[in-house]
Copies of this chain bind each other. A is one copy, B any other.
Amino acid sequence: MPHTHRLTPGQKIYLNFTPADGKKFHKNRDKAEKKFKKLRKEFRDLQARLYAENKHKLLLVFQAMDAGGKDGTIRAVTQGVNPQGVRVTSFKAPSTIERAHDFLWRVHMAVPAKGMIGIFNRSHYEDVLIVRVDNLVPESVWRPRYDHINNFEKMLTDSGTIILKFYLHISKEEQRERFQERIDLPEKNWKFSFEDLEKRKQWDDYMLAFEEMMQNTSTVYAPWYVIPSNQNWYRNLAITHVIVDTLRQLNPQFPPPEGDVSGVIVK
């Protein structure tokens, strides 16, 4: 069940025909929320051991359309996890100095160290998404990036990084409702930007870009998960389940003492 939404390498996906509705996968919201909270508690315990063991690195990548729920997911899933072991990086439009380097330069600087969980709110995948849709670089530049990304992620994996990538899949109608709410509720006004409406017009171009991106970069070592995200409660459960299941298999342990401590008396 935790890996229901995983894409196998090379798998073709049509987002229009892929359910964004979590109710298709879980009927009972109350039960889902209870299960989510239980899993999140387990996540906290596993994270404490991951950090203490100081051996593996976990990288979680989140991509979505605007209002897809990236911020909310990160907040909900990591709630209660020790911030000392988690580093969230939000990738915005690149700065002048970032643009003066290759597209993986700023990303590489943000990958997690041993024992750490790194979370990317947007990522190097923007460089085959917005860059493509808005024609910021020609296809001869962005298309080879699929390979560059796969090679980069393979290298990270070989050096002890576990990579999980989540596409938060919402329907176009769900995005409409969320935008409208940001307009109608004064306390949400600050989240709304007129630019969002411009980007909404490119919905179909983005769907195509996401589809090709995931088909080309879902690998055995760094798979994509297409998470039905119209309902936050299902989205949170599904993602936490994948993370916890991955950490369970990793089974991190508190390290052994550095020597024989029995009988030592502190003065």
Contact = CB atoms under 8 A, between A and B. Distances in A.
Interface in A240-267: 254-259, 261, 264-267
Contacts of A193: 258
A266 B121 contact: no
Nearest to A51: B71
Interface in A69-90: 71, 74-75, 78-84, 86-88, 90
A190 B252 CA distance: 14
Copies per assembly: 2
B257 A192 contact: yes
A255 B259 CA distance: 55
A265 B181 CA distance: 10
A187 B87 CA distance: 26
Nearest to A262: B183
A197 interface: yes
Given A194-B258, A259-B194, A261-B189, A266 B180 contact: yes
Given A179-B266, A261-B189, A88 B79 contact: no
A187 B256 CA distance: 9
Contact of A256 (B83, B190, B259): B190
A123 to B, nearest CB: 14
A200 interface: yes
B119 A190 contact: no
Interface of A: 52, 71, 74-75, 78-84, 86-88, 90, 119, 121, 176, 179-180, 183, 187, 189-190, 192-194, 197, 200, 254-259, 261, 264-267
24 contacts: A52-B190, A71-B84, A74-B82, A74-B83, A75-B82, A78-B82, A78-B83, A79-B80, A79-B82, A84-B90, A84-B119, A84-B121, A87-B87, A87-B88, A176-B266, A179-B266, A180-B266, A183-B264, A189-B256, A189-B257, A190-B254, A190-B256, A192-B257, A200-B266
Which 6 A-B pairs have CB atoms at the shortest separation, nearest pair first? A189-B257, A179-B266, A84-B88, A190-B255, A83-B86, A78-B83
